[in-house]
Amino acid sequence: MSTETLTVEKPKRNYNVLFGLTLLALLVLLWIALSLATPSFASSTNITNLLRQGSMIAILAVGQTFVIITGGIDLSVGAIVGFCTVIPAMMINAGWPVWLAVLATLCVGLAIGVFHGFGIVKMGLPPFIITLATLTSLRGIGLLMTGGSSISINNDAFQEFSRNSFLGVPNLFWMVILVGVPAYIFLHHSRWGRYLFSVGSNAEASRLSGVNVSRTIYMAYTLSGLCAAFVGVLLASRIGIGNPTQAEGWELQAIASSVIGGTSLFGAIGSVHGPLLGAFILATINNGANLLNVNSFWQRVITGALIIIIVYFDGLRRRGK
Amino acid sequence: MTSPAAELHPAPDIAPGSVILELRGLEKKYPGTHALKPVDLAFRTGEIHAIVGENGAGKSTLIKLLTGVMPRTSGEVMWEGKPVALATPHEAMALGINAVHQEVVLCRHLTVAANMFLGEENVRYGLLQQRAMVRDAQKIINDLGFDLPAHVMLGDLTIGQQQLIAAARATVRGTKFLIFDEPTAYLTRKEADQLFALIRRLKSEGVTIIYISHRMEEVFELADRVSVLRDGTYVGTRNIDETDDAELVRLMINRSIEQIYHKEHFDLGPVILETKNLSGKGFEDISMTVRSGEIVGLYGLIGAGRSEFVTTVYGRHAKTAGSVLWDGKEVSIASEHDAMRLGMALAPESRRDQGLCLNLPVGLNLNLPIYKRISRNALISGAQEKQQAERQIAGLRIKTPSRHALASSLSGGNQQKIVIGKWLNHGARLFIFDEPTVGVDVGTKAEIYRLFSALLSEGAGIILISSYLPEVYELADTLHVFRRGRLVASHGFHEASHEEILSEALEAAKQKHGEQP
């Protein structure tokens, strides 16, 4: 039995690894091509810059992936990021210690996620609707709080953080690792992670198996809100202002990263490493297009085409299996 | 056989009694099941031909083949003497073959008129002639003697009224061959009478009717001839005035009891579960006990309230009256979670909808109820996860390449074993199996039954719901018959005959019909 099992186990394992490696290869290929095409790409300033650009979307994509695995979607993450640049800005300017401001902001993200869970579980609203509603309301609330203007943050140490590096790697990228490693353990090695998959695959069967489906849905949206609030703090630190209109369209970039990373929008299929790679592939394309003086409008077109191509080929392969 | 005139105008002029549709060795195989063994049968123009048989006898397979929903495995179908492929629903409809299904398959959010003309809308200059369509639809409905408005949303009508609309719709489409699949399941007696009037009228216009029903009295009321299917085999056809209830029932169930039921009798232990006068949605006043080592069989027609009863016991729905006792103590079971904690397990009727996460691995499905137990501080022990899954795969002989294979890649029988296996892992003491062998081949059935014995020998109790009489008959220590939400009879092992039990399950319909003049 065991030998038989072992021999057949490999192809399946290989499939996931293979997909990850394909994405990694695509990323490396892009980097090589861009290094050859433009001298400025391989410079350390540019690479550092690219890592900073990609990091925030990468963290958003991780939270987004949890939600998509349950078969849902979180359209509000961009708005949460914008809103969560305002919170720490106001608190720090009001003299709160930075750690407390960060903690409070994370709690705000948490609360928004809980609200989404409430809307979906208790009010029976479709995830698309409730998160779309929060998207527009949060921007509005942020604008009301700031009176429509940006708030400059009067704290150099707070802003230093996102500019500095540790061991030659930008701090923002370290944050991806800080989020990514626990997220990986959570999704692939904890029972909560298994429940995310099972709810996304068949909520009714999961419920009949004793899985607390409501709690699982709350958890997914709460984690997504938390990730978005964390990105909000990082963005506030990076740009040094609080402005609720920031991060426009980031939810779509996060969804795109997730999907490029192999997450199925029908739920029950996804990983943590995939969306992370997906986010950096997107960041590389944008960065490269800038360096090559490609009209920035084209970047959007390229991103769209890339989503179609990758998802189409992934679908072909899954069906072929 | 056909006159020259008939060749010019084939539809209305075929003489009654000539053959419109002939099956020659029509056969359907699924992987692992022989759903329909070769059938030779001829339908005459303008007859009402009833088809009877138990669930799983092959009736729905036959309909799907005739309406082009599924391709046949082998055999020929002759339509008006010419072979036809019947490869797509479109082809069947173009020939004039239509079906009215048990479940209404129309658009609930469109008006009655829009549904009547769906796909054949009245269009002038590219614009829908809405008012004309409502007027025409109303005329058709009135002509048929139905008192229904054509301009309302279909969803605003009762299921029965929708069923009448579905039937009326078939009449306006040049239908020559109309199949009714259990059309009266949701109808009131009045609606059923209207439907019967419609069917007779269609017959008088030369339409051939296939009428599929469980209800014997309807068959005798309507049909000219009746054919019997049993276990996918065509048993025979009788003229309606040359047969009776008893003969049909005998033909339906008179099968050699296969050697697949290995009934072992265990010493019955203490009562595990007892319900006292339990009532809820879909059933009333049910009192029964399940003892350790006992299989309690629940037999009845679909919709008799058996599934509602067990899901209520299992905490899915709230009870409205009565009580549930577990180990002799009254318990309140407010959710499935409570039921599981007590030690109940439910293998639901629809494993695709309720039992399995199909696009996830076999191992994850097997372990789903026990992740709490095999993880510490929320982190799963990989070794235990592997061990538990592989123990069940080996013990149940689940045919899968590995525990990482997706549940969807397995055959129906092996999927069913996963559903059962996950509860073995969980260590339950009372197992509820709702139609555990639907769509499962004989070999897997036998393995599932052996599994029952293994559970009983360990002191568990089993509630077995089945609409397949031999299964409950051969396995249940106590057999309860459900009819229209009530427990109408109870028998010990082999205490009553098949015929008695089947007539107990059917009787209500007969009596109710008898009351109507």
In the DSSP assignment, the letter for residue A270 is -
Q: Which residue of B has its CA nearest to A190?
A: B379
Does the residue A33 lie in any domain?
no
Show the CA angle centred on residue B375, arms to residues B369 and B380, nearest 5°: 100
In the DSSP assignment, the letter for residue B355 is I
Residues 346-405 of B with CB under 8 A from A: 346, 348, 353-361, 364, 367-369, 371-372, 375, 378-380, 382, 390, 393-394, 401-405
Residues 162-191 of A with CB under 8 A from B: 185, 189-191
Q: What is the pLDDT of residues B297-350, one digit of tens each?
A: 999 877 788 888 998 999 888 889 899 999 988 898 888 888 888 888 888 776
- Find the CB nearest A209 among B359, B368, B404: B368
Diameter of chain B measured on Cα atoms: 85
Three-class SS of residue B111?
Answer: strand
Distance, first Cα to last Cα, chain B: 42
Does the residue A5 lie in any domain?
no
Cα separation, B442 vs B448, in Å, equals 10
Confidence (pLDDT) at B9? 31
DSSP-H helix ranges across A94-248: 98-121, 127-146, 156-163, 171-189, 191-201, 203-208, 213-239
Cα separation, A228 vs A83, in Å, equals 10
Which residues in chain A are closer than 8 Å to B336, comparing Cβ atoms?
207-208, 210
pLDDT per 10-residue tile (average), chain A, 321 residues: 36 64 88 88 86 92 95 93 93 89 94 95 92 93 89 84 83 92 90 89 82 91 95 92 89 90 85 92 88 81 81 67 44
The domains found in chain B, sorted by start residue, are 19-96+174-255 (3.40.50.300), 109-173 (no CATH), 272-343+428-515 (3.40.50.300), 359-427 (no CATH)
Which residues in chain B are closer than 8 Å to A211, comparing Cβ atoms?
368
Q: Which two tokens stand for residue B406?
A: 């997706």
Which residues in chain A are closer than 8 Å to B355, comparing Cβ atoms?
205, 208
- Classify B43 in phi/psi space as left (phi over 0), alpha (psi -120 to 50) or beta: beta
Of B245, B218, B295, whose CA–CA distance to B455 is shortest? B295
CATH code of A223's domain: 1.10.3470
Tens-digit pLDDT string for chain B (517 aa):
333 433 333 333 344 468 888 999 888 887 666 788 888 999 998 899 999 887 667 888 888 899 888 888 889 899 888 899 888 888 888 888 888 877 667 787 888 888 888 777 777 777 777 888 889 889 888 888 788 888 888 888 877 788 888 888 877 777 889 999 888 766 777 788 888 888 898 888 888 999 988 777 788 989 999 999 887 888 889 998 888 877 887 787 664 445 567 778 888 889 999 999 999 888 889 999 999 999 999 998 777 888 889 989 998 888 898 999 999 888 988 888 888 888 888 887 766 667 788 888 889 988 888 888 888 877 888 888 888 888 888 888 888 888 888 888 777 778 888 888 888 777 788 999 888 877 666 567 777 888 888 888 888 899 999 887 888 888 899 999 988 888 888 898 888 888 888 888 876 444 444 333 3
Q: What is the pLDDT of residues B454-507, one digit of tens each?
A: 888 888 899 999 887 888 888 899 999 988 888 888 898 888 888 888 888 876
Cα separation, A204 vs B287, in Å, equals 28
Does the residue A141 lie in any domain?
yes
Confidence (pLDDT) at A117? 94
Helices and strands in chain B, H and E counts: 18, 24
Which residues in chain A are closer than 8 Å to B371, comparing Cβ atoms?
191, 194-195
Query: Residue A66's domain spans which residues?
Result: 43-320
- B390 and A5 within 8 Å at the Cβ level: the answer is yes
Q: How many domains does chain A have?
A: 1
Q: Is A13 on the interface with B (CB under 8 A)?
A: yes
Cα separation, A170 vs A163, in Å, equals 7
Does the residue A35 lie in any domain?
no
Cα separation, B418 vs B396, in Å, equals 8
Does the residue A1 lie in any domain?
no
Centroid of chain to Cα A225:
10
Q: Is B18 on the interface with A (CB under 8 A)?
A: no
Q: Cβ distance A276 to A183 under 8 Å?
A: no
